[in-house]
């Protein structure tokens, strides 16, 4: 799941991640929860699409297995 989340944020949900990051920077710590609710919901929706895509999950699983084999 970690590899899927990282790849989805970095490759597939760039606009949503950038919008959420920008909102967090402008809202500050106290207002982030309230002011950035719409942006985090869009990001979660985008990530959910990729979590449920069997092809993308298979790619990430293969990538994880390759990384794990290199460490062993």
pLDDT in tens, 11-66: 999 999 999 999 988 887 777 888 999 999 999 999 999 999 999 999 999 999 99
Split at pLDDT 50, 70, 90, the class of 10 is very high
Answer for the pair 1, 58: CB distance below 8 angstroms, yes or no.
no
H-only helix segments in the chain: 2-7, 14-35, 37-51, 54-71
Specify the pLDDT at position 61. Answer: 95
Specify the pLDDT at position 56. Answer: 96
With residue 43 as reference, give the H or E element that holds it. helix 37-51
Question: Does residue 9 register a pLDDT over 90?
Answer: yes
Report the C-alpha gap between 72 and 45 in whole angstroms.
Answer: 35
Report the C-alpha gap between 3 and 47 in whole angstroms.
Answer: 12
Specify the pLDDT at position 33. Answer: 82
What global pTM score does this model have? 0.83
């Amino acid at each position: 799941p970690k590899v899927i989340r990282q790849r989805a944020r970095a490759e597939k949900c760039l606009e949503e991640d950038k919008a959420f990051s920008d909102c967090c920077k402008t809202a500050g710590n106290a207002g982030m929860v309230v002011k950035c609710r719409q942006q985090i919901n869009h990001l979660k929706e985008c990530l959910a699409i990729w979590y449920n895509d069997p092809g993308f999950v298979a790619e990430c699983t293969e990538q994880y297995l390759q990384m794990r084999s290199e460490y062993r």
